[in-house]
Amino acid sequence: MFAVEVRDHIMVAHSFRGAVFGPAQALHGATFVIDVAFIAQTLDGNGIVVDIGRAHDVLKSVLQPLNYRNLDDVPEFKGLVAAVDLAYTLRARTQFAIAARRDLEYSYLYEQNVYVVAGFTASVTQRVGDAWDVRGTVGRTHLTYQSRFQSLAVAVELTGETSLSAGVDVGYHIGRSRVGFNVDHAQRDSDVSLGRGYQRLVIGSSLSYVF
201 and 137, same structural domain?
yes
* Residues whose CB falls within 8 Å of the CB of residue 187, separated by 6 or more in sequence, listed in order: 163, 164, 165, 198, 199, 200
63 and 99, same structural domain?
no
136 and 68, same structural domain?
no
102 and 12, same structural domain?
no
- Tens of each residue's pLDDT in the chain, 211 residues: 898 999 999 999 999 887 888 898 899 999 999 999 888 889 998 889 999 999 999 899 989 988 999 988 887 677 777 889 999 999 989 999 999 999 888 777 666 667 889 999 999 999 999 999 999 999 999 998 876 555 444 444 567 889 999 999 999 999 999 999 999 999 999 886 667 789 999 999 999 998 8
86 and 59, same structural domain?
no
End-of-domain residue from the set 73, 104, 136: 73
44 and 124, same structural domain?
no
Assess contact for 175 and 183: CB atoms under 8 A. Answer: no
107 and 68, same structural domain?
no
- Number of compact structural domains in the chain: 2
- pLDDT at site 156: 46
Sheet of 177-190, strand order: 82-90, 94-106, 114-128, 132-146, 159-174, 177-190, 198-209
Q: Is the pTM of this model over 0.75?
A: no
| CATH for 9 | 3.30.479.10
153 and 69, same structural domain?
no
End-of-domain residue from the set 47, 73, 99: 73
88 and 67, same structural domain?
no
53 and 127, same structural domain?
no
Task: Give the angle 188-193-199 at the CA atoms, nearest 5°.
Answer: 20
59 and 24, same structural domain?
yes
- pLDDT at site 147: 67
- pLDDT at site 11: 96
The boundaries of the domain holding residue 68 are 2-73
- pLDDT at site 192: 67
191 and 128, same structural domain?
yes
- pLDDT at site 209: 93
